[in-house]
Structure 1
Amino acid sequence: MVDMGGLDNLIANSAYLQARKSSHADSKQLQRRRRTLTLPGPQSCEQLRQAPPNDFHSLCEQQPIGRRLFRDFLATVPAYQEAVGFLEEVQSWELAEEGPAKGSTLQGLVTTCAASPGHPHPFLSPALVTKCQAATTEEERASLVELAKAEAMAFLQDQPFLEFLASPFYDKFLQWKVFEMQPVSDKYFEEFRVLGKGGFGEVCAVQVKNTGKMYACKKLDKKRLKKKNGEKMALLEKEILERVSSPFIVSLAYAFESKSHLCLVMSLMNGGDLKFHIYSVGEQGLDMSRVVFYSAQMTCGVLHLHSLSIVYRDLKPENVLLDDLGNCRLSDLGLAVEIQDGKPITQRAGTNGYMAPEILMEKASYSYPVDWFAMGCSIYEMVAGQTPFKDYKEKVSKEDLKQRTLKEEVRFQHDNFTEEAKDICRLFLAKTPEQRLGSREKSDDPRKHHFFKTINFPRLEAGLVEPPFVPDPSVVYAKDIGEIEDFSEVRGVEFDDKDTQFFQRFATGAVPIAWQEEIIETGLFAELNDPNRPAGCGEGNSSKSGICLLL
């Protein structure tokens, strides 16, 4: 007899893997679609032009297309290009491996700053040039280069930025912004297999039809949301994801609605979650090189959330996902909450086995330190293949686990624990927040712990550290579709005007940074900007923006 469930899974996986392989602009169907696309004309940008322009940081540093076009503009003015070249040299020095070569680069930068009197740099003050000429120690040189970097940035934010706003390069940016603001619906995507399920719906793989980019789509059932009063939580997760911009946290690219669902389209992490790798690949637990690497990236992700006044509240290996290259990102910010005016949180939330003592205690409030406790639990689990207060597959009640977390000290019985791993776990798992690593004082930075002595954090954040493990591209790191339970139909729920307003507030379309990264990464930016591009069937009527052709 044919195993129809197994056949369905094979077909779903094959289609999904094929889509991942053809996600570049090389398929004939994708090329045909792209030939119909065109940027909206300048006349469609008038409303945007009348609005105040973005500040320099948002327009020329955060937004990828804005950054690219500002760089293109600067390249047309030699004095401005000189400042860009200097800043690139400074960045190379900052990201260089420690050693003699880095010292030589620093010396070269100071020599560049100390230009001859007849050839002063337009972006440096005479006072700073004089100081650079007199610098003798490495500490002095490093300090002066930082000052020179600040002056070069200030220079670019002044007259060059104003000239950019009056240039054709900014006109082109506005065209791309109008393109970015197009309506988004389920017709924008091709849907593939289900990857998992959450409390309000399933997560499936999708592909943007016009770029080939693959994403994960979290589909929230509208009726289920209303029945379970989950609207506020869904909107909070969406708004937090919009604010986040870190290589160590999943990115939100689109938020839209279909007839039955609210959809969050996010980074597709093909390598599976850390829980899968801890328990389902080889022996339980991970090699220490992987534990250190993932912990470093998780720490950077948590620090980014805290810098935005956000407490994660659900850090655990199951919520840490690997991408194609083996880098990890925090996911599922459904329980994340923003600290308002520095006030602590009182509502209990989290996952049993990872919740800090202050969450479990009656009538207690808590704040950022709970995430560091969960970090300690996660590091312990990656090393030992079990959580600190519960053996693997041990049956234990919530109350027993709570009492163990509140009263028992952590024990290290697994042979894989190094002294550094034991120490960082003890510090993260301190019972009181005031004694916990990351929250003992304002400047308490977990990245400085000797557990991370092999990690160069500036290079890690720049994506220059090679992951110790790369997922197999021919494997689908997800449950078989037959193992993912279907949701039952929700009955007896009707929508009113208030619901419609909520759906519209949620469905805001493309998220600028992630969308612009997609456009550049998939080659569409270069293609539509090419002045020699042959006219496609999408052109011809200059009164239409060409956006409709996407749908």
Structure 2
Amino acid sequence: MGEELEVEKLKAVKVLGKGAMGSVFMVEHKNSHVAVKVVDKTRDAAGGERGRWEMKVLTRLSHPFLPTLLGSFESDTLMGWAIPYCPGGDLNVLRYRQTDHVFSPAVIRFYAAEIICALRHLHSIGIAYRDLKPENVLIQQSGHLTLTDFDLSRTLTPKTIPNPTPKTDYINNVTGPHARPRRNFLCKSRTKPNATPKCARVSPVTRRKPSFCFDGERSNSFVGTEEYVAPEVVRGDGHEFAVDWWALGVLTYEMLYGTTPFKGKNRKETFRNVLLKPPEFVGGRRTALTDLIERLLQKDPTARLGYARGATEIMEHEFFRGLRWDLLTEVMRPPFIPSRDDDVVPSAAGLDIRAYFRTSKSPPSLPPSPTSVQFHKSPSLPEF
């Protein structure tokens, strides 16, 4: 569970992020820096419940590409928890620093592989992540990745499929039969680098009867970031772990082209594209990478790569041929390594966290985390 922290002794060095659920601070603790996420329970009735859920998830994680719970606190008004600080910022900030705002296939291969490993661990303990996006993929000091923000995750019972046979028809995009009205739902909107995430109630969309068989547990809640939401979530069919593989397809497409494949002029058009529009690949030349993306972005979850045998199916794809999955954690020179944060403001110049929530939402005395994160680029990716 981590140690018990004393909020009155925590001095924030700077704000790392601010979202609908709470604010994240860099805090100096025991001569090192940690990230502390704090929820104001007086402003969000569900904040305490969601915060306890996220801490519960963190206590179950044991993986090099996932965070661990270092400590926590709770008072009448605030609750918070500490996880390791990642000085490299998030994958979205790093992508914007690249030429043309895209990564090379070799870099995509490395990052996608580490994300697959993290999701495989989550799924193995029955947790569907449900909020994969570049802003939730952080870069550790070592240059390796870690996923963060588990407030939308959900425990699901894994499905059992006797003698699973991988789907071979990855071309047809199945959207399901008849539609019917459904209720409003909760969705996160997409943000630019270091922008404040927003939650919004969106307009009702159609809901379809389940078009696939599933003998495990499904969730019928609508959660996620709109550009990454899977078709079965938009339709309200009920969903399971395959939504994470859809989001991986969207994220991989974005790393390759610098934009998400289904973004429309507004939320309604985005959802229509998610349901009906096939992903477009620039140039028309098919590669192992575009094939991987296309197989992950199947509208029908039962045809989606990863549905039948989970991460194993994806790891066996041609794009990852020759990759030594067991040596990923031993790669000493990842594509980009953040420089040491030597100019961090001392904690004495920081702010009491309780005062931060009492006085204002964004006090000028506490500078936000800069977007100009410095990275050292490896000359070439090592073989692994």
Do the two structures share a fold, i.e. TM-score over 0.5?
yes
How far apart are the structure 2 equivalents of 1:343 and 1:181? 30
Q: Which has the larger radius of gyration?
A: 1
- Find 2:71's aligned residue among 250, 254, 261: 254
| C-alpha deviation, 1:470, in angstroms | 1.4
Q: Could you tell me which residue of structure 1 aligns to residue 37 of structure 2?
A: 218
Instruction: Give the letter aligned to residue 357 of structure 1.
Output: P
TM-score (norm 1): 0.50
- Find 1:472's aligned residue among 334, 339, 343: 339
- SS for the counterpart of 2:259 is coil
How far apart are the structure 2 equivalents of 1:224 and 1:324? 34
| C-alpha deviation, 1:455, in angstroms | 2.4
CA contact (8 A) 1:389 1:401 kept: yes
How far apart are the structure 1 equivalents of 2:49 and 2:251? 28
- Find 2:52's aligned residue among 235, 241, 245: 235
- Find 1:396's aligned residue among 265, 277, 300: 265
CA contact (8 A) 1:314 1:336 kept: yes
**Per-residue Cα deviation, 1:316-368 (whole angstroms, up to 9, x for no partner):** 11110101121111111110000158311111111011011000004x11100
- Find 1:373's aligned residue among 226, 246, 256: 246
Q: Could you tell me which residue of structure 2 aligns to residue 413 of structure 1?
A: 282
The answer on 1:457 being equivalent to 2:325 is yes
Structure 1: stretches of 5+ with no match in the other structure: 1-179, 491-551
Instruction: Give the letter aligned to residue 311 of structure 1.
Output: A
Q: Could you tell me which residue of structure 2 aligns to residue 120 of structure 1?
A: none
**Per-residue Cα deviation, 1:100-156 (whole angstroms, up to 9, x for no partner):** xxxxxxxxxxxxxxxxxxxxxxxxxxxxxxxxxxxxxxxxxxxxxxxxxxxxxxxxx
The answer on 1:186 being equivalent to 2:7 is yes
How far apart are the structure 1 equivalents of 2:138 and 2:106? 17
**Per-residue Cα deviation, 1:399-450 (whole angstroms, up to 9, x for no partner):** 11111111111111169x8701101000100111111111134685311112
Task: Summarize the alignment of residues 529-540 of structure 1 with structure 2, pairs less than 5 Å apart.
Answer: none
| C-alpha deviation, 1:260, in angstroms | 3.7
- The structure with the largest strand share of the pair is 2
Q: Could you tell me which residue of structure 2 aligns to residue 512 of structure 1?
A: none
How far apart are the structure 2 equivalents of 1:236 and 1:225? 15
How far apart are the structure 2 equivalents of 1:276 and 1:195? 13
Structure 2: stretches of 5+ with no match in the other structure: 159-215, 345-349, 351-355, 361-384
- Find 1:273's aligned residue among 64, 70, 90: 90
How far apart are the structure 1 equivalents of 2:40 and 2:336? 36
CA contact (8 A) 2:288 2:319 kept: yes
How far apart are the structure 2 equivalents of 1:454 and 1:409? 29
| C-alpha deviation, 1:474, in angstroms | 4.7
- The structure with the largest helix share of the pair is 1
How far apart are the structure 1 equivalents of 2:242 and 2:4? 40
CA contact (8 A) 2:48 2:79 kept: no
Instruction: Give the letter aligned to residue 400 of structure 1.
Output: E
Instruction: Give the letter aligned to residue 214 of structure 1.
Output: H
CA contact (8 A) 1:297 1:328 kept: yes
Q: Could you tell me which residue of structure 2 aligns to residue 353 of structure 1?
A: 227
Aligned residues: 293
Flag as ranges the 4+ runs of structure 1 deviating above 6 A.
486-490
How far apart are the structure 1 equivalents of 2:20 and 2:108? 29
* Cα separation, partners in 2 of 1:240 and 1:403, compared to 1, 3 Å: same
How far apart are the structure 2 equivalents of 1:247 and 1:182? 20
